[in-house]
Amino acid sequence: MVTDARLEADRQFAELVEAIRAAGVELALYSGIKPELPAACLTKGVAEGKAFGADVVLGIGGGSCIDAAKAIAILLSYGEPLSSYYGEFKVPGPTLPVIAMPTSSGTGSEVTPVAVVADAERDLKVGIASPYLIPHTAICDPELTYSCPPELTAMSGADALVHAIEAFTTAKRTPTAETAHEHVFLGKNELSDLTALAAIEHIGASLERACTSPNDETARSRMMFGALLAGQAFGVAGTSVCHAAQYPIGAKTHTPHGLGVAAMLPFALAFNRSHAGADIVRVGCALGADVAGRGEDAAVEATIQHVERLLGVIGVPVSLAAMGLSEADLDWTAEHAMASARLIKNNPRPIDLEAMRYLIGAAHAGDRSNLNAFQSQTYAV
Ligand SMILES: NC(=O)c1ccc[n+]([C@@H]2O[C@H](COP(=O)([O-])OP(=O)(O)OC[C@H]3O[C@@H](n4cnc5c(N)ncnc54)[C@H](O)[C@@H]3O)[C@@H](O)[C@H]2O)c1
């Protein structure tokens, strides 16, 4: 069982561990996982899992603990180094089965084919993406999230919202017989659209309430279900520019993943409106934005304003400057965002470095007014 020190110190968690043991299951507990998953904290867990002879890995906690369980399962199954699995399709086959029990409503890691780690030897966080990383079983109990403080509820919930919106608005790929061999994230399709829209509805209706009333059963349940659906949506469709930009933003500002992707969202929607206007309006409908009876342009604007209001009330900063990103780091941020080619190619509107610089600059200034009209010198929109 893989978790962190917070959960290990919890009395009810100790009772859960005892109940599992009392049921005749041998269990070794590793509680050394840290937020945002520094790769170094996996080493001891792997050694303990090996010595114990684990045949199942159970991750319980936030996304970091579930991703840790996935990474430990890979290392127990196929050996070190972890870096040999970075990227897509590098995990050679099935790993030890992983059981995922999320205690935050956000990452969707309990159903996704990816684990994200922070490797001290690299500037940015890295992903291991493989269909073999989808957990065998996900046990989702909203009561486990009642203890999440408002900031964690907000940031992890915003992460889930961005997963769903990016999954619904990504570029559509024409499927071929090779698609599933070439891409872990296959691209948006009818099924991912269904789960994405349902996720947006659940999260849009409950995120604010879950932050202000932590014991509201309905809000907590809808958030957990929404995060799971969003994970299923982006596990198929992939994510795009908000996620590409968050990696360097997070590296420079040391802010949580959810905060960075959410801070980018209104700017990404404004940038993409020329290529994804109809999809953005459907996002607005699912969120309950004031889009009825409006033309596309006005409905897109109402949707972006609705998103801005929701993010504002849960505490997402209005600009990258307010998040602490310095002006001197803007070029570096844009260049490193472009390095996530897998995410960049998913964006509905083509992006080159010039466009990325413009987008990051606008998000830094908190001004989205000219993003739609922006024209890069090197591609035509
Ligand atoms: N694998 C995926 O599909 C995927 C998707 C998105 C993000 N991620 C990754 O997941 C990580 C973020 O996960 P996260 O947002 O869940 O945060 P987290 O797992 O990093 O946890 C943040 C903090 O919240 C605490 N916490 C968790 N549950 C709690 C609860 N019920 N009550 C009180 N405190 C609680 C943790 O102890 C920790 O201190 C990042 O590393 C991110 O890159 C993974």
The Å distance, Cα 117 to ligand 1 centre, comes to 12
Q: Which of 264, 261, 246 is nearest to 124 (CA)?
A: 246
What is the predicted pLDDT for the residue at 84?
A: 97
CATH 1.20.1090.10 placement within the chain:
149-365
CATH superfamily of 149-365: Dehydroquinate synthase-like - alpha domain (1.20.1090.10)
Distance, CA of 196 to CA of 142 (rounded, Å): 20
Q: Report yes or no: 188 and 167 within 8 Å, Cβ to Cβ.
A: yes
Residue 380 above 60 pLDDT?
no
Distance, CA of 362 to CA of 323 (rounded, Å): 14
The Å distance, Cα 178 to ligand 1 centre, comes to 34
The closest residue, in CA terms, to atom 39 on ligand 1 is 35
Q: How confident is the model at residue 124 (pLDDT cuts 50, 70, 90)?
A: confident
Give residue-wise pLDDT tens across range 244-269.
999 999 999 999 999 999 999 999 99
Residue 55 above 90 pLDDT?
yes
The closest residue, in CA terms, to atom 41 on ligand 1 is 36
Q: Which of 67, 162, 223, 343 to mutate to test the pocket of ligand 1 (most atoms within 8 A of CB)?
A: 67
Domain 5-140: give its CATH code.
3.40.50.1970
Q: Is 349 left (phi over 0), alpha (psi -120 to 50) or beta?
A: beta
The Å distance, Cα 68 to ligand 1 centre, comes to 11
Mean pLDDT of 269-281: 97
CATH 3.40.50.1970 placement within the chain:
5-140
The C-alpha angle with vertex 199 and arms to 197 and 200, in degrees rounded to 5, equals 65
The Å distance, Cα 63 to ligand 1 centre, comes to 4
The closest residue, in CA terms, to atom 12 on ligand 1 is 63
Mean pLDDT of 272-295: 97
The closest residue, in CA terms, to atom 30 on ligand 1 is 148
The Å distance, Cα 166 to ligand 1 centre, comes to 20
Mean pLDDT of 207-234: 97
Q: Which atom of ligand 1 is nearest to the CA of 133?
A: 1
What is the predicted pLDDT for the residue at 376?
A: 77
Q: Which atom of ligand 1 is nearest to the CA of 118?
A: 41
The Å distance, Cα 290 to ligand 1 centre, comes to 32
Q: Which of 130, 127, 131, 132 is nearest to 97 (CA)?
A: 132
Distance, CA of 338 to CA of 203 (rounded, Å): 29
What is the predicted pLDDT for the residue at 381?
A: 45
Mean pLDDT of 41-47: 97
